[in-house]
Chain A
Amino acid sequence: MKVTFETDASMERSLAKIVTNPAEQQRWDEIDKAISHLERQLVVINPKNNRNVQIQPSSILAIESEDRMCNVRVISGESYLLGKRLKYVEEDVDSSQFLKINNSTMINVKHIQAFAATDHARIQVELKDGSSYYVSRYYIKNFRGKLL
């Protein structure tokens, strides 16, 4: 596949638009995976053996604040630790990929299944692995641009 690059100053940073012939639409998944492999790896701690592990941000489901550290849940079901406060993690990760949903949780936009109103007058986000988190009203204001 021949690739051409163009720049567009009106586009936000960390966003790339790929235009293909309709016939190539079935290859979009492959292209997406290939690009995902290029993303910057995140260094986390495996709590079982205290060793550093490199993971791809796209495999992260949620990042939750835990005192001075963060708990990182990945799609495979494992959990890792990140030795930073959540506010510093926010600066490190791709803001178009991760969404802060309450004071102590960030989720990966890619893994959102649906939003639901719970019995207790609260809003919940359900992720593709079946887990769910409560969403603060304040952060909903920022969702529109990131979910489109």
Chain B
Amino acid sequence: MIANLKHSFFQVFTITLLWVTLLITLFFKDQTIQMGYLWNLAGIAFIAAVVFGVMYDALWNYFTLKPIWNIVISSTINILGGTAGVWLFSEEMFHFIAPWFPGMWLLSIVLHTIAFYFYARMDSRKKAEELNKILK
């Protein structure tokens, strides 16, 4: 488990770092940045790796928590990670989108409920049926 999570952490970290660098290159190619800003990019990649590489993988594949806990943990960490990522990218952008945070949080809860409750319930039924067929 630890080895797999470590692997997905570094995979997401690398992809996010390259992706954000590509976006910055495309949209802000005329701007100059301070060397210290590279650490902000590393921070964004780190947050994405923790959220998408470790948290979702662990909650979906390894843990057997009740859906309510999956929803609370994932939506909270997702929103906190997202806002922290935006803040690291640009403080100006962070203040600009701040009024929408409550709505984003609500949307996050709705989407995580669909994934961790309704989809998971469907997936569990399907998998249980498949396994019972193999048993017969």
Seen from chain A, the residues whose Cβ lies within 8 Å of a Cβ on chain B are 102-103, 112, 114-118, 120-124, 134-138, 140, 143-144, 147-148
Contact = CB atoms under 8 A, between A and B. Distances in A.
B66 interface: yes
B61 A115 contact: no
A122 to B, nearest CB: 6
B37 interface: no
Interface string B77-119: 0000000000000000000000000000000000000001110
B26 to A, nearest CB: 37
Given A116-B128, A121-B116, A123-B124, A136 B134 contact: no
A74 B128 CA distance: 25
A148 B123 CA distance: 21
A117 B121 contact: yes
20 contacts: A102-B62, A103-B1, A103-B62, A103-B63, A114-B132, A115-B128, A115-B135, A118-B124, A120-B66, A121-B117, A121-B121, A122-B120, A122-B124, A134-B64, A137-B61, A137-B62, A137-B127, A138-B4, A138-B61, A140-B131
Given A123-B124, A137-B60, A137-B61, A147 B116 contact: no
A121 to B, nearest CB: 4
Contacts of B61: 136-138
B114 to A, nearest CB: 11
Contacts of B60: 137
Given A121-B120, A147-B131, A136 B125 contact: no
Contacts of A137: 60-62, 123, 127
A79 B120 CA distance: 33
A115 B132 contact: yes
B60 to A, nearest CB: 6
B127 A123 contact: yes
Contacts of A136: 61-64
A120 B131 CA distance: 18
A122 B64 contact: yes
B43 interface: no
Given A117-B127, A137-B127, 7 more contacts: A115-B132, A120-B67, A121-B67, A122-B124, A123-B131, A137-B61, A140-B131
Contacts of A121: 67, 116-118, 120-121, 123-124
A118 B125 CA distance: 8
A117 B64 contact: no
A123 B1 contact: no
B128 A147 contact: no
